[in-house]
Structure 1
């Protein structure tokens, strides 16, 4: 009796098949696909007969047929009438290969060359604190508990009903007419900004406004753009992404140091009403000087009035756009602070010479607006709800601001000096001994969560470090005890 010779396996590489039939089919398909991509099954190679594969691995023949059929459908295998199917040329399966293949991780410490290195630059966008308690010193977030939610709900339902009765269409990219008209009336009343509905382009928050203006005003590699130092990082990010040459200009108690602007700067970004993050207001002297600089040197000014509605104390200084007589100012506003961030509505008031071009940029990057949210906001403004909400919130924020100033004076005078500020939802205080800044920041993270070092807004080390406290989402009675705990920690 002769011994039976061992049967050779159908493939020259091992296969691992286990589990139920459906799982074995997927395993067979995935392992054969990987073998084709790795060229262990080269182009033109015949696939073994389905009966042979089924017998060798103890699986049903239909399982093998299903796996082969899937490879054929994906383009990895080519069927042949009356003959065995063969592996396709890899180029023919390239689309499927790209879908299936996972990107290979690069060694640690190496940057992926496929990514724009700009977005690995840490100074462009400040790191917002994560995991904060609901009531904290977080910056940039308004109070939600006093918002007229029921009014907003009714207006939103009305806008939805009106939309459902109208033919489907693409709303204008620059914003629906009702909202642009309402915004024009609002900024004229609240900030004495003279404009018409046609001057306004509605955006998805102030950040999209900065992106659109960067695309409009920056010639890559040539245009020099000046920023406040420290200043709002997302503006820098938008301009840097557009290829601008960034120029940092220091800030003091009068705001942007206009006299330090180089003559070849063509765009100046500024927060004149409530400097971000120090909170100072640009003095009238420097406002006039900035507009004169722009007129003399052919520059434009980006006026970011992100929380100018909330004023405490003296009459607010006129907006740069109000003082402008040469059509050099782009006025940027947002409803994230006066209403709520999730609304994602901002706007640009553009000079007449730039209106059409800005609308074209908006259309190319964001072809139409969200009609329902815009109609709701338009009605909210038109019916006076925005003005009433701002009037209601102003004394609430003023009380919190006073509690913060009182706590800094009573408990933390040895460590901090408040920076004069009369607007907005945050207040900054300089650290008296810069050498102690890192230790103070570490304790502040524990005892006044959400407060941010001003250095998070700066590309360079600040000569006078400061800590910025938000009071949008913390009650007045909570502020003093928190500052007292920080004082005890610093004294311990």
Structure 2
């Protein structure tokens, strides 16, 4: 890689080369141990005489900035390379006000906890890496002589067709390849939809409790986000704000409660959206893994006037690192969404999309979902059984997904409540248990569970993911959580 330095300043060429390299070392652009170009190469790059560069190198070496190693080259000395603090400008640039810019926590980077019950993380050990590696490698070989042009922002045609067919038999959706726009996952799809549909100040209705990244994304676009309560039948349609321009919902497996939007509510929501000309974003959150009952027909399949945008991802069925999702959009929005995609990141990874098309068409995705689903069903059953032995926790029934939610005996759990709002089933526990404190105490013992309160609303409880937990440690982890819960009640 070429070394780019500025030769602006006073003095002869040698002095300017010397000063530029010394400054690059001082401010950390040339770190300790970095190998500098040969004097001949750097001289050619800078358009100066080789002797000027060689003399500058000799002076820097004499002063301890560089070390010359015979037969190897010239390196930055470890004792002299240190980044210096830069003076902050008097009037620094600032991000616009109006929303929180702190990044949301992720599951990557830090070591996983011993008992990992975090939600939304699939088990990478269940994924057929060898099969996937062969498919990706084959696609890369096929593209060895690719002219290097840019691809279609809609996504690879083969993948769009494969997704349409997959949704036909997996979710009973009537879709064609032209209905599908490939994205880099759910968040990318929501961003594209928001940029196409929303203007600053528009109202977006979201579920409460709900999915924080979606709420924050809409806020980042300048929308006014309004939370709408969720009860045993899902999103409360009667509570939707009249001013809403967009409704975001997870009807088939509500996050984080896990409930399903009833048939009556589905029709009510579509009728409400039709009357007010509102767009409905249907996030089909992790419904591929089902453990009981047949799934209800998605809103997209019930919609006959083009109000629903159906969003899906392969982050749970495969891996988050695959970074591939999709949106089924009404015909009137497709070109706008593709244009927004093209303006943002152009297009997705061609080889990955082509490999995923083959992965689906060869039946490997369906086999993986079945195999992983059996493993997840066992883990889910063990967690539900363990929670069933804990006094004061009410498990919310759910038929799909990668997590289980338990309420701390609150009225929202379905138990009768007294006038003070306490659960008649567990009057003492609802006052004694602080989920935030339990979560913190559990974390100190290596158990990672989530506080339901982090997702909004007045409901209190815990969210237990079962995708990432080691099945050999699951029962032990639940036992530790039980001890922590009992201990917090006693304090």
- TM-score tier (shorter): 0.7 to 0.9
1:456 corresponds, among 454, 457, 463, to 454
Partner in structure 2 of residue 436 of structure 1: 433
Partner in structure 2 of residue 91 of structure 1: none
Partner in structure 1 of residue 349 of structure 2: 370
**What is the rounded CA distance, in whole Å, between the counterparts of 1:150 and 1:342 in structure 2?**
15
Residue 243 of structure 1: CA displacement? 1.2
Partner in structure 2 of residue 117 of structure 1: 97
Cα 1:297/1:125, change in 2 over 3 Å: farther
Cα 1:27/1:209, change in 2 over 3 Å: closer
Partner in structure 1 of residue 319 of structure 2: 340
Partner in structure 1 of residue 403 of structure 2: 426
Partner in structure 1 of residue 35 of structure 2: none
**What is the rounded CA distance, in whole Å, between the counterparts of 2:407 and 2:345 in structure 1?**
41
Q: Which secondary structure state, in structure 2, belongs to the residue aligned with residue 250 of structure 1?
A: strand
**What is the rounded CA distance, in whole Å, between the counterparts of 2:149 and 2:101 in structure 1?**
40
The answer to whether structure 1 residue 417 and structure 2 residue 414 are counterparts is no
Q: Which secondary structure state, in structure 2, belongs to the residue aligned with residue 226 of structure 1?
A: strand
Residue 455 of structure 1: CA displacement? 1.8
Equivalent residues in 2 for 1:26-425, closer than 5 Å = 26=19, 30=23, 102-104=86-88, 114-118=94-98, 120=100, 125=104, 130-133=110-113, 136-221=116-201, 223-410=202-389, 412=390, 414-425=391-402
Cα 1:305/1:112, change in 2 over 3 Å: farther
Q: Which secondary structure state, in structure 2, belongs to the residue aligned with residue 145 of structure 1?
A: helix
Cα 1:454/1:128, change in 2 over 3 Å: farther
- 8 Å contact 1:335–1:343 — kept in the other structure? yes
- 8 Å contact 2:114–2:447 — kept in the other structure? no
Q: Which has the higher helix share?
A: 1
Q: TM-score, normalised by structure 2?
A: 0.75
Cα 1:174/1:27, change in 2 over 3 Å: closer
**What is the rounded CA distance, in whole Å, between the counterparts of 1:285 and 1:321 in structure 2?**
15
Give the total of aligned pairs: 401
**What is the rounded CA distance, in whole Å, between the counterparts of 1:184 and 1:386 in structure 2?**
14
Q: Which secondary structure state, in structure 1, belongs to the residue aligned with residue 433 of structure 2?
A: helix
Q: Which secondary structure state, in structure 1, belongs to the residue aligned with residue 295 of structure 2?
A: coil
Cα 1:119/1:105, change in 2 over 3 Å: farther
**What is the rounded CA distance, in whole Å, between the counterparts of 1:471 and 1:440 in structure 2?**
19
Residue 302 of structure 1: CA displacement? 0.4
**What is the rounded CA distance, in whole Å, between the counterparts of 2:89 and 2:118 in structure 1?**
36
Unpaired runs of at least 5, structure 1: 1-20, 35-61, 68-99
Residue 125 of structure 1: CA displacement? 4.2
Q: 1:436-462 CA distances to partner (integer Å, 9 max, x unpaired)?
A: 22332222323463311122222xxx3
Q: 1:46-68 CA distances to partner (integer Å, 9 max, x unpaired)?
A: xxxxxxxxxxxxxxxx769999x
Q: Larger deviation: 281-290 or 125-134?
A: 125-134
Residue 478 of structure 1: CA displacement? 2.6
**What is the rounded CA distance, in whole Å, between the counterparts of 1:255 and 1:489 in structure 2?**
31
**What is the rounded CA distance, in whole Å, between the counterparts of 2:400 and 2:57 in structure 1?**
72
**What is the rounded CA distance, in whole Å, between the counterparts of 1:448 and 1:409 in structure 2?**
22
Q: 1:331-365 CA distances to partner (integer Å, 9 max, x unpaired)?
A: 00000000011000011010111111111111111
Q: TM-score, normalised by structure 1?
A: 0.75
**What is the rounded CA distance, in whole Å, between the counterparts of 1:451 and 1:355 in structure 2?**
40
Q: Which secondary structure state, in structure 1, belongs to the residue aligned with residue 359 of structure 2?
A: helix
Cα 1:267/1:125, change in 2 over 3 Å: farther
- 8 Å contact 1:284–1:317 — kept in the other structure? yes
Look at both structures and tell me which one has the larger radius of gyration over its CA atoms. 1
Q: 1:195-247 CA distances to partner (integer Å, 9 max, x unpaired)?
A: 111111111111111111110110112x1100011111111122112111111
Residue 265 of structure 1: CA displacement? 0.8
Cα 1:126/1:419, change in 2 over 3 Å: farther
- 8 Å contact 1:450–1:470 — kept in the other structure? no
**What is the rounded CA distance, in whole Å, between the counterparts of 1:28 and 1:357 in structure 2?**
49
Cα 1:141/1:396, change in 2 over 3 Å: same
The answer to whether structure 1 residue 478 and structure 2 residue 458 are counterparts is no
Unpaired runs of at least 5, structure 2: 1-13, 28-54, 61-83, 410-429
Residue 255 of structure 1: CA displacement? 1.5
Q: Which secondary structure state, in structure 2, belongs to the residue aligned with residue 348 of structure 1?
A: strand
Q: Which secondary structure state, in structure 2, belongs to the residue aligned with residue 424 of structure 1?
A: coil
**What is the rounded CA distance, in whole Å, between the counterparts of 2:388 and 2:92 in structure 1?**
50
